[in-house]
Amino acid sequence: MVILENLFKKVTDGDVNHNYFYRLVKSQISVSMYGEFTKVQAYGIEIERQDMVDGTVVRIQRDCVENISPQRYKVKNLLKMVYENTVSPIHMIDILGEYIDEYTSDFDDEMLKDIATC
């Protein structure tokens, strides 16, 4: 997994600073079609929240979905959405679940494109 983009947001709640990191990540997956494996680039999102008190990290929460879509722009739009709405790692799947389910078909479309160009 490679981090392509990192967005940062700081939210203060009393004496606790919440540092949010929203990351666009890239990896490769092997997809089988007609008995052959093909590598496809996949993009995902990682969200991390660090809770800090007096400059010391007291808690870290992190969640990641690596293989959302081979379409970078779709995942980048989701990244912007969670960043703008300050989504925490523990709520990431609740917010993105339906999008992730919908974008799974992008991998099939990508494989069909590869077959058509052969």
Asked if residue 114 has pLDDT above 70, the reply is no
pLDDT of residue 116: 45
Count Cα neighbours of 63 within 13 Å in the Cβ-side half-sphere.
13
Note down the domain range covering 110. Answer: 2-117
Euclidean distance between CA atoms 78 and 10, whole angstroms: 19
**108 has pLDDT over 60:** yes
CA gyration radius, the chain: 17
Q: What is the pLDDT of residues 34-84, one digit of tens each?
A: 788 888 899 999 999 999 999 999 999 999 999 999 999 999 999 999 999
Two structure tokens written together for 97: 């679940």
Amino acid in the structure at residue 40: V
Q: Give the pLDDT of residue 111.
A: 65
Q: Looking at 15-19, 81-85, 105-109, which range is the least confident one?
A: 105-109
Q: How many domains does the chain have?
A: 1
